Structure 1
Amino acid sequence: MTKNTNIRISLPAVCFVWQIAMIILFGVFIRYNEESDTHWIELKRRKNISTHLENDFYYRYPSFQDVHVMIFVGFGFLMTFLKRYSFGGVGFNFLIAAFGIQWALLMQGWFHHLDSDDWKIKIGIENLINADFCVAGCLIAYGACLGKVSPVQLMVLTLFGVTLFAVEEYIILELLHVKDAGGSMVIHTFGAYYGLTISWILYRPLLSQTKHLQGSVYHSDVFAMIGTLFLWMFWPSFNSAIADHGDGQHRAVINTYLALASSVLTTFAISSLSQKHGKLDMVHIQNATLAGGVAMGTASEFMITPYGSLIVGFCSGIVSTLGYLFLTPFMEKTLKIQDTCGIHNLHAMPGVIGGIVGAITAASASESVYGKEGLINTFDFKDATANRTASTQGGYQAAGLCVALAFGLAGGALVGGILKLPIWGDPADGNCFDDEVYWEVPEDEDDDIPASRHPDMNHVRNMADV
């Protein structure tokens, strides 16, 4: 097999040049905010604050750590299911996230936190959380292209993905004043359709040359399940990290917790019903069990009620599992979309469900449920939105979903066209899903478990089944 050696030239150049650019841009634009600067002491005295606990760091840092673990461990290990691409799954996830958070701090800062007095971006702990959210969209997009693109292409995907995300986020959250604490629309819907469109543009008709690598083995599925469990445990923090202090964050945790639990049971049920002899498919368990967290993102801080959260998780688990069974093969065969990780089932459809649930919940909100002050605080009905009603807010929520879809599809088409240029050193079709193209891989005689040892188990799966 011929190995691609362009990485020796292109990847070091891109990493060095872009990191130096980050250093320069941070030197020009980025400064500490007042709560992370030494002026915090003066601020405490001026505002008669007696304890450091009122610093936003102590309130947000636990959630930041949980989200950070999801980005680097959860997403990374979830992508290790391919038998010969575990290094690429977790390693390139690391690369994308490390570059993406730096670029996100700049892009989001220019749109949201630029101080007009000195033209500097003041960052604190909440900026770090939002940068992780921004990177999550790019990692979702990576899932559709897993194993089929070069690391330089991934850096370009991240550069444009973060830029598009920052613009989309500004339009949805700042201009339309849409509520989307857990990012069903801003993160999941955008990231999924961004990645799916890129995968469609980069369609590889000869991918059958690597058919023997487009599946898992026993231990690779176990590693991927580690990622699932980390994501599942910390998803309540993801959906509540930037929610309003107090009741909003409390509801976001409860609602997400319940939706996740509900999606697990429905995923197990549909998976068992769909397989011979009632056995379970690990692909479904690794992915569709998380669909409740995605679908609960937008409405997580709303008064959707506990049983409403269970319904959202119930429906999203069914839709996601059925997507792996029927939609993924259809998309690859008919629509020419090769979705390696099945992000359409885990992020795209549940993200759209989340946007719709958020619009309906917002439109049906009332003072009898929220109270007058609660209604105003939950939906930020003040200043620019002071004259909005609940039904009007529902319409804006639906408009936010449309914006996320438009940015994902149009942005993916643009970036896909750029990535298709023959200058990025993308791997040949016969080199896809193989770590040896970009990594020093130790020899292991037991790397592939012979199928004869597992005659009744579907450990080596075709991409159509993934």
Structure 2
Amino acid sequence: MMMRLVRRVGWFVFYASLIEFAVMLVFIVFVRYDAFYDGTKWNYTSYHGHSTPNLQTFYPMLQDVGVMMVIGFGFLMTFLRRYGHSGLGCTLYLTALTLQLALLADGVTTANDGYITLNVISVVQAAFTCAAVLISVGATLGTTSPTQLLLMALLEVPIYQINAYIGYRILAVVDHGGSIFIHTFGAYFGLGFSRSVLRRVPVKDHPREVSGYIPDMFSMIGTLFLWVYWPSFNGVVESGRSQGRAVINTYLSLSASTLAAFMFSASTHKQHKWTMVHIQNATLAGGVAVGAVAGLMIQPWGALLLGYFAGALSTLGYTHLQGWLQEKFGLHDTCGVHNLHGMPGLLSAMVSVGAAFFASEANYGKELYLQYPVMAPAINISSSLPLIPELEDVAPGEGRTAEKQAFYQALATLITLLMALTAGGASGLLLNYMPFDPMTWPQLYSDAPWWELPEEEEQMEEEPSNSELGKIINIQVGQLETINHPRNVKVGQLETITHHSAVD
């Protein structure tokens, strides 16, 4: 009976229907509006007050984050010549699914009287979870079926929430823009997933893992949207002076990483040309690298320096590290998330350790206890400082020392790495079996198995002959071969120009 239904509607519709039905059922039973939005509690706030965040304060930046998810990430994933429909479409449906799952997973830890209550901050936190999932997708783009991606999101969301709960709630780690808990976790979960799910399918030198002039232009649209809106991502949960610093620091860091990407892209090319894959990705590395410390007193020059190192590190990751990791460890990373999110995220984590170690009232004043609440004394400091309005809501802390805070920043990073790699690898192993619709070699990097395409596109999707396999080059990894007619071949970090033998 079940297999007859699967043959009729397909694995994707089968699993998606089950998940959505279960999610709706949970929403019906357990999810309600915040008391401030609940029309049945008209006079509630008159008697009890409310703690609901101001919609007008958060919604403009939340819109920016939404643009980053759907347009930024979506178009960034359209660089593959025959996988543009799927790059955009999967981004949209995974964002929609993850939003629902994240509201439930995060709401479990904040439930009130047995109900999950929603406000604008709930949606902001859910958007952050969407970002982590979409980062993971980048590592497996074109190599996993829509069904596998659907189920990957289902498995990743609760693990992400558990890791974030440990970091934010238990260890009280500072990570303003999510460089540790979003970018690092998403990147290494995706890498672990990719390594496991591709055990049976050879992907190296696949003839369709190539880009083109038009796909690269579309992908660059995603880069530009991400670049413009990244300050909102890093600053949306901050307030006051911290939010202002987050916006300024992010813009400065992005500008520095952009210049570094252009410089290192040209300097590592044999003919000193720019490579589009570097410009699409490494220009954004500054936004990741500054994330964990975006609202802190790192000074403008610190933001510039951090962005420059991130841009250089990301570019060099594409030119030197990515191909080596695939060659030596079989670690396939379609979009290079290790270079854009993984390594810059770890860089940001290390900077956050140093920032916490040197944090003191000498460089923050009493605002130190807004940035690091657990470093506040065990008594209510606002009672002795009534003339500082910003400290009115500062609760008694733990009196944690700067050295201990730095230790917890490092510990949270290590826990994030271990959880992401372990959970990602286990998820990939699980979803590699037939009931989860794994990919076959002819289906890789192709829209044809999943989309109704125009007739001319269908014809172009036909499998290339064996003689063509050596002529088409992997865009990201950089396997270099020559062909017998003049053309430029884009190979990640390299571009080779070959000529007719008659010319020589």
Instruction: Name the residue aligned to 2:272.
Output: 278
Shifted more, 204-213 versus 307-316: the winner is 204-213
Q: Give the alignment of 1:185-264 within 5 angstroms.
A: 185-203=180-198, 207=202, 211-243=206-238, 245-264=239-258
What SS does structure 1 have at the residue aligned with 2:293? coil
What SS does structure 2 have at the residue aligned with 1:122? strand
Aligned residues: percent identity? Answer: 38
Matches of 2:172 and 2:348, distance apart in 1: 17
* 1:98 maps to 2:96: yes
Instruction: Name the residue aligned to 1:429.
Output: 441
What SS does structure 1 have at the residue aligned with 2:16? helix
Using CA pairs under 8 Å that are at least 6 residues apart, name the structure with larger relative contact order, 1 or 2.
1
Q: Considering only aligned residues, what root-mean-square deviation do their CA atoms show, in Å? A: 2.5
Q: CA distance change for structure 1 residues 429 and 447 in 2, over 3 Å: closer, same or farther?
A: closer
- TM-score w.r.t. length of structure 2: 0.84
The alpha-carbon deviation at position 102 of structure 1 amounts to 0.2
The alpha-carbon deviation at position 417 of structure 1 amounts to 1.3
Q: Give the alignment of 1:20-169 within 5 angstroms.
A: 20-38=21-39, 42=43, 45-46=46-47, 56-111=54-109, 113-115=110-112, 118-169=113-164
Matches of 2:414 and 2:396, distance apart in 1: 21
Q: Is the 8 A contact 2:242 2:296 kept in 1?
A: yes
Q: Is the 8 A contact 2:254 2:283 kept in 1?
A: yes
The alpha-carbon deviation at position 447 of structure 1 amounts to 7.2
The alpha-carbon deviation at position 41 of structure 1 amounts to 5.9
Instruction: Name the residue aligned to 1:395.
Output: 407
Instruction: Name the residue aligned to 2:429.
Output: 417
Instruction: Name the residue aligned to 1:349.
Output: 343
| AA partner of residue 265 (structure 1) | L
Q: Is the 8 A contact 2:84 2:215 kept in 1?
A: yes
The alpha-carbon deviation at position 97 of structure 1 amounts to 1.0
Q: Is the 8 A contact 2:62 2:236 kept in 1?
A: yes
Q: CA distance change for structure 1 residues 442 and 210 in 2, over 3 Å: closer, same or farther?
A: farther
The alpha-carbon deviation at position 171 of structure 1 amounts to 0.4
Q: Is the 8 A contact 2:208 2:445 kept in 1?
A: yes
Instruction: Name the residue aligned to 2:307.
Output: 313
| AA partner of residue 114 (structure 1) | A
What SS does structure 2 have at the residue aligned with 1:316? helix
| AA partner of residue 80 (structure 1) | T
| AA partner of residue 125 (structure 1) | V
What SS does structure 2 have at the residue aligned with 1:149? coil
Matches of 1:299 and 1:340, distance apart in 2: 28
Matches of 1:40 and 1:463, distance apart in 2: 60
Instruction: Name the residue aligned to 1:290.
Output: 284
Instruction: Name the residue aligned to 2:419.
Output: 407
Q: CA distance change for structure 1 residues 39 and 248 in 2, over 3 Å: closer, same or farther?
A: farther
Matches of 1:25 and 1:437, distance apart in 2: 33
The alpha-carbon deviation at position 359 of structure 1 amounts to 1.1
Q: Is the 8 A contact 2:78 2:215 kept in 1?
A: yes
Q: Give the alignment of 1:363-378 within 5 angstroms.
A: 363-371=357-365, 373-378=366-371
Q: Is the 8 A contact 1:209 1:429 kept in 2?
A: no
* Unpaired stretches in structure 1, ≥5 consecutive residues: none
Instruction: Name the residue aligned to 2:466.
Output: none
Q: Is the 8 A contact 2:319 2:493 kept in 1?
A: no
| AA partner of residue 372 (structure 2) | F
The alpha-carbon deviation at position 232 of structure 1 amounts to 0.7
Matches of 1:6 and 1:195, distance apart in 2: 29
The alpha-carbon deviation at position 363 of structure 1 amounts to 1.0
Q: Is the 8 A contact 2:291 2:348 kept in 1?
A: yes
Matches of 1:309 and 1:40, distance apart in 2: 46
The alpha-carbon deviation at position 419 of structure 1 amounts to 1.1
Give the number of the structure whose alpha-carbon radius of gyration is greater. 2
* Unpaired stretches in structure 2, ≥5 consecutive residues: 1-5, 377-394, 462-470, 473-482, 496-504
Q: Is the 8 A contact 1:241 1:249 kept in 2?
A: yes
Instruction: Name the residue aligned to 1:380.
Output: 373
The alpha-carbon deviation at position 207 of structure 1 amounts to 3.5
Q: Is the 8 A contact 2:268 2:493 kept in 1?
A: no
